[in-house]
A and B are shown apart, each in its own frame.
Chain A
Amino acid sequence: MTEATRPLPPDAPWIVLKFGGSSVGRAACWPTIAGLARERHAAGARVLLVVSALAGATDALKAIADHADADERRRLAAELGQRHIDFARELAVDPGLLSPWLARLAELAAAVGPGGDCAGSWARQAELMALGELMSSTLGNAALRRAGLDSRWLDARDCLLAQATGNQGEWARWLAASVPVGRDEALRERLAGRAAEVFITQGFIARNGDGCTVLLGRGGSDTSAAYFGASLAAARVEIWSDVAGLFSANPREVPGARLLRRLDFEEAQEIATTGARMLHPRCLSPLRRSGVPLWIRDTGRPELDGTRIGPEVPDAPPSIKAISSRRGVTLVSMETVGMWQQVGFLADVFQVFRRHGLSVDLIGSAETNVTVSLDPSENLVDSDVLAALCADLAAFCRVRAITPCTAVTFVGRGMRGLLHRLRDVLAEFGSLRVHLISQSSNDLNLTFVLDEVDAEGLLPRLHDALIAAGALPAEDDAVFGPTWAQLYAGAGSLRPRPWWRDRLPALAALAAEGTPCYVYDLATVRARARALGALGSIARWHYAVKANPHPDLLRTLADQGFDFECVSPGELDAVQAALPSLPAQRLLFTPNMAPAAEYRAALARGVRVGFDALEPLQALAGEASGGGTAIALRLDLGPGRGLHAHVRTGQDSKFGLPLADLPAAIAAAGDAGLRVEVLHAHLGSGILDPGHWREVGLQLASLAEGLPDVVALNLGGGLGVPYQPGQPALDLAAVDAALAELRRAYPRLELWLEPGRYLVAEAGVLLTRVRQLKRKGARLFVGVDAGMHTLLRPALYDAWHPVANLDRAEAPVDLRADVVGPICESTDTLAAGRLLAQGTTTGDLLLVDLAGAYGAVMASDYNLRGRPRQCVLDAQEAVP
């Protein structure tokens, strides 16, 4: 069956590979597993595979153990047995191999049952639960042999011997046991003596001193792999699953999160314990103590290197590697007078926590206050333990239980050396209720505990801000890999190839006439407008003129059927100048803090008007001259969302009518002879979450229920454009689907949107020439003729714009530099710590991408260096 196994030298290294239930339980994965084992053996390594139970099998076994009814237990056991028999057939291996395990399953299913929290029942439960791995490894062994490998099945219980630890309860000794960590020479010799290409064994299970089966607890298979790695003194342990590794944030919340290529054990431990579910925190400690590296890999994408976790890299520069969050955190704040004078105060306090079985996570303290955090646990939600704890603590101090909170943690080595870079990152917390900040002395983390509602949508913003601030150096390829979206969301989710790559000669010609110069591509504007126009759920589109009032852009968008949203009389004039025959009703005037006279003039002009304050409505109320004209009311729905604290609106911002003023505003509108037909909200910009507008619409629609005059909801703009590479683009189809659902629920209400950036940002680039290079120590400044007077966004918002050297398009991009302007301000930076083309020098033409929105229109005369030129490119679009 197998070819003769080549003997390996006695000192051949061990590699432990662990496969989870989703890989093990799919027949199609076994050729991959066999291939990976064969490859490593061929390279001269001894290979041990550690496998989980088939996906769902452990839960099924737990259900059997918990069921009170013996017949039902037998039925569930038979069902699970059949699933394994079916899987054996699918693998084309002999189902008869399962017979001893199936017999034991039937016996144990009859014997177990809930209740009887004693050693005997836990022992039976452990033995029952172990069957999942025993069966999967038996089938796996046969599948490997069938694939032509000389595979040997190994009983993990003969290799891992659990020992009770001091503070371990009886339950944990059976169901969450620990194995002493260390090199096991006897095991190494025993296995080295057996001729085999590969060994396969079980995760999750071990044996205790009495020879009984015990379990290693949640995440037990990862822990088993780590124990085996340590006892075999393996060259490495590889954990194979369905994701390539750890990411810089939870990809479900932050699709722009980056794969972490390299981490040290301590960093990985922090990431695993502060929220990442990818890796069980328990598995790292045995490896760290034994110095065995851990690799995380994707079974479906074996070509990816994944995450490699090893010992600390000496002299690595400080950086933030990841952000994570945990919801449902409870803070217990204890206030007393002069606690430090009271010897034993903390000991007394913590004794109370211990007595109630509550484990404290974070601690913050002052002279008169200690505040600790409790991670969410079933105990806290199901029982009155928090009330009992607080009652006992009340004997020492004034207690306050703050909940629900979310803990947001920045993880990385050398956090304290990065504080100066976090200015704009910390600004994100500006209007949020932060209750506790904790930073450990090992300098690996920085945690903020804040109100759970305030943490919604925060992670993507923090992630972007950390990259923009250079605190999370995403351009460092040694540490940060591709984004999750690049790896898993498909090419369609990313930004298409920029138009300018195909227009280099035209750009060079325009630059020759003078820089700095903005160039707009009308074909791109048209393409974006058409993409939006295709969304069936939107009845009316408005272009937010403030993004870029260039007349050619306005004309292009008018041709595409867009109306125009203006925030000042000047913008109204600009649109009417560019489009003299445009009907006034295609203009929407929504100013902020404008005098009543501006509203009066706009109403007289015949444009549609939106109010976001009571005062101007009341000023018009006396006049009752509205004649039933329809108006919009812009509401403040609460917490804003968006790119940066400065471009978010709501709550603490000056925009929008507070909800409490809505009845008064409706009344004032009535007195003014105006009718509120549109409710409007705009909650910020740069939003890439496709569910956002549905949520805004849902809030507005439920308010409109009581307002029969309302016929339309203006959900604002804020349609985001990804500025950083690898960030997924806004999924318009998902936006449309979410809004279509809203339309069906509220057929009476039309939906409107008013994007600006989305239509023009990608259409514009800024051309600028290098005027001077300056070196200061290790730092290189590339001085260009554009600055904050040309493009204010980087200085104002810490905005991140891609920069390319058009004169060195083919050169490797490895020159780290700050691209700065000529303005006398220290914030006059267009791009900080960026990689540019090798050899970039004075006279080169640089392109700042994604500059079509809030670029030229925000340019200023500061330093009297003049305003940038603006040019327009228009070519016939290629017909698809």
Chain B
Amino acid sequence: MSAPAFAREAIGRFEFRQVAWDAGAGQASLAYGFDDGPDLVERIVFPGAPVPAHPAAFDAALRLVHLIAGVSYFKAAVPPRIAVLGPAPAPALATLLDAVYTDGLAEFAWRNGIDLRGKVCFPRGAQAAPAPALGLPRSSLVAIGGGKDSLVSIELLRARNEAMTLAHVGDSPLIAAVAGRTGLPVLNIRRQLAPELFEYNRQGALNGHIPVTAINSALLVAAAVLYGHDAVVFSNEASASSATLEQDGRVVNHQWSKGIDFERAFAAQVRAGIAADLDYFSLLRPLTELAITREFARLTRYHGHFSSCNRNFRLLGAKPRERWCGQCPKCHFVFLALAPFLPKPALVAIFGRNLLDDPSLAGDFDALLEWRRHKPFECVGEAAESRAAMAALARRPDWREDALVRRFAAEIQPALAASELAIEPLLAPRADHALPDRLVGLIDALRRA
């Protein structure tokens, strides 16, 4: 098989070609292409898929998946034109897609030295009739990622006796193992990228961060319609909405598709274009990272199993360092944010080492604290949270002599206002959220916790 040629600079057009559904195999095929090049076909498998009870809504959901998942291919060349074969998206959807392909790729663009602002323009079709309510059963499809956030969501919902199924995309054994420990039903959606993409990479395709939460959100919405759930629940927290970097009026948020703006726009699109009675929301939106770690500290049965490390370990190991690389900002932040809420021996047992007693990590923790450094391009909490957690440790006799805590107390804390370092205000639920009415009571429960 000869590899198709890929001359990135010369490419003028990205095409959304077609969506096919193989009911027998439960497989969706999403075809894309550049100019007149070959089809790039992504395959998605919904295991044990039933015959869709709401074919029109499911078609609309797969179309949404097609339009959003195209971002993985579009970004290989970032051509000036976007074409949608078949009916063009309704204006509101096109606006959402413009945002996904601009704001969702902002970090990618910034790192590759390009500027996508004003350059992405999806074709606009006719206004569509509003989608009907489908009478979906009262049940949540909860995204699980193997980290602390989704586990906190799951246990909050379980405590309220919500019916739920967990869902994850891809084949991470860690997520599968953590999901298994919940004892709840689990749906594993498989996604296979077009193989040509790897060949394009060799030939100079652009690479970088894509808004993967947007893609997974669309996949779970399609799954909710297919299997019958009236809510798709993610676990993005308050700080996901804030920018990672602002430069010359350009705003880059590493986790844009985990932010509240995307959540609202996407939820509106789901209700308007797919099912009027399908909720999409982030359960943890009212919570700060510290409030989440405080909740998670109580869930001891997951402590030896979860991982929020962003090195993707696709195999499971028994040793802590096979779950926690100890070198990435996620490892550093989760360690720091859990520390105020766990006995020290319990925390270090999770990670297999004490990251706050390693002087070589001083610069990495400085970045979390935004102390003479930029916050890293990662899904980590706000600097205020890291600073408050560190200040709490500086007060604790079992922590305060550890290298990085001592350094904080001696060199950084004196330059910070004491009023900013209290943990308590940072644990308070935030008002900016999109929880459905039936779950708003959760916030009061957390406030009392």
Which A residues lie at the B interface, using CB under 8 A? 328, 330, 333, 376, 380-387, 389-391, 393-394, 398-404, 451-453, 456, 659, 694-695, 698, 701-703, 705, 708-709, 741-742, 745-746, 748
Contact = CB atoms under 8 A, between A and B. Distances in A.
A694 B314 CA distance: 12
B302 to A, nearest CB: 15
Interface string B394-435: 001111011000000000000000000000000000000000
7 contacts: A328-B345, A381-B343, A382-B343, A387-B344, A387-B398, A404-B352, A695-B322
Given A702-B325, A746-B314, A400 B402 contact: yes
Q: Which of B207, B313, B322, B345 has the most CB of A within 10 A?
A: B345
B346 interface: yes
Nearest to B396: A387
B401 A399 contact: yes
The majority secondary structure among interface residues of chain B is: loop
B81 interface: no
Contacts, number: 98
Contact of B398 (A401, A453, A703): A401
Given A394-B397, A451-B353, A709-B202, A698 B317 contact: yes
A468 to B, nearest CB: 27
B345 A698 contact: no
A380 B397 contact: no
A403 B345 contact: yes
A453 B343 contact: no
Interface residues of B, number: 34
A748 B199 CA distance: 11
Nearest to B171: A745
A746 B344 CA distance: 36
A384 B354 contact: no
Contacts of A659: 327
B319 interface: yes
Contacts of A381: 343, 345-346, 349
Contact of B353 (A391, A453, A748): A453
B159 interface: no
A843 to B, nearest CB: 54
Contacts of B378: none
B398 A741 contact: no
B398 A386 contact: yes
Interface of B: 171, 173, 198, 201-202, 205, 207, 311-315, 317, 319, 321-322, 325, 327, 343-346, 348-349, 352-354, 357, 396-399, 401-402
Nearest to B314: A745
Nearest to B354: A403
Contacts of A389: 398
Contact of A742 (B312, B315, B319): B315
Given A381-B345, A381-B349, A453-B353, 17 more contacts: A328-B345, A333-B401, A384-B343, A389-B398, A398-B401, A399-B397, A401-B401, A403-B345, A404-B354, A453-B321, A695-B317, A698-B317, A701-B314, A702-B312, A702-B313, A705-B311, A748-B198
Contacts of A394: 397
A659 B326 CA distance: 12
B309 to A, nearest CB: 9
B145 to A, nearest CB: 16
A635 to B, nearest CB: 12
Given A702-B313, A709-B201, A391 B397 contact: yes
A387 B397 contact: yes
Nearest to B197: A708
A328 B397 contact: no
A490 to B, nearest CB: 24
A708 B343 contact: no
Contact of A380 (B171, B202, B321, B343): B343
Contacts of A694: 315
A705 B312 contact: yes
Contacts of A393: 397
Nearest to B351: A404
A401 B399 CA distance: 7
Contact of B343 (A383, A391, A398, A741): A383
Contacts of A741: 315
B207 A386 contact: no
The CB with the most chain B CB atoms within 10 A, among A386, A404, A748, is that of: A404
Contacts of B325: 702
A705 B368 CA distance: 24
Contacts of B353: 404, 451-453
Contacts of A453: 321, 352-353
A823 B329 CA distance: 55
Of all A-B residue pairs in the complex, the 6 with the closest CB atoms, nearest first, are A708-B201, A390-B397, A400-B401, A745-B314, A390-B398, A401-B398
A708 B76 CA distance: 12
Contacts of B402: 400
A700 B327 CA distance: 14
A637 to B, nearest CB: 10
Contacts of B319: 456
Given A399-B401, A404-B352, A387 B343 contact: yes
A394 B398 CA distance: 9
Contact of B349 (A398, A404, A703): A404
Contacts of A698: 313-315, 317, 322
A29 to B, nearest CB: 31
B379 to A, nearest CB: 16
Given A381-B349, A386-B344, A702 B311 contact: yes
A708 B315 contact: no
A680 to B, nearest CB: 18
A453 B357 CA distance: 13
A745 B327 CA distance: 22
Contacts of A390: 396-398
Contacts of A702: 311-314, 325
A487 to B, nearest CB: 25
Which of A333, A398, A401, A698 has the most C-beta atoms of chain B within 10 angstroms of its own C-beta? A401
Interface hub of B348, B354, B398 (most chain A Cβ within 10 A): B398
Contacts of B173: 745
A403 B173 CA distance: 29
B255 to A, nearest CB: 17
Nearest to A385: B343
Contacts of B343: 380-387
A708 B202 contact: yes
B423 to A, nearest CB: 15
A695 B320 CA distance: 12
A702 B317 CA distance: 13
A871 to B, nearest CB: 46
B348 A403 contact: yes
A404 B348 contact: yes
A702 B173 CA distance: 14
A705 B310 CA distance: 11
A330 B402 CA distance: 14
Contact of B352 (A452, A742, A746, A748): A452
Nearest to B319: A456
Given A330-B345, A381-B343, A403-B354, A745 B201 contact: no
B314 A401 contact: no
Query: Which among A330, A383, A741, A745 has the greatest number of chain B C-beta atoms within 10 A?
Result: A745
Contacts of B357: 402
Contacts of B205: 708
Contacts of B348: 403-404
Contacts of B311: 702-703, 705
A326 to B, nearest CB: 13
Contacts of A391: 396-398
A393 B396 CA distance: 12
B67 to A, nearest CB: 24
Contacts of B198: 708, 748
A629 to B, nearest CB: 13
A115 to B, nearest CB: 21
B170 to A, nearest CB: 11
Contacts of A708: 198, 201-202, 205, 207
A403 B344 contact: yes
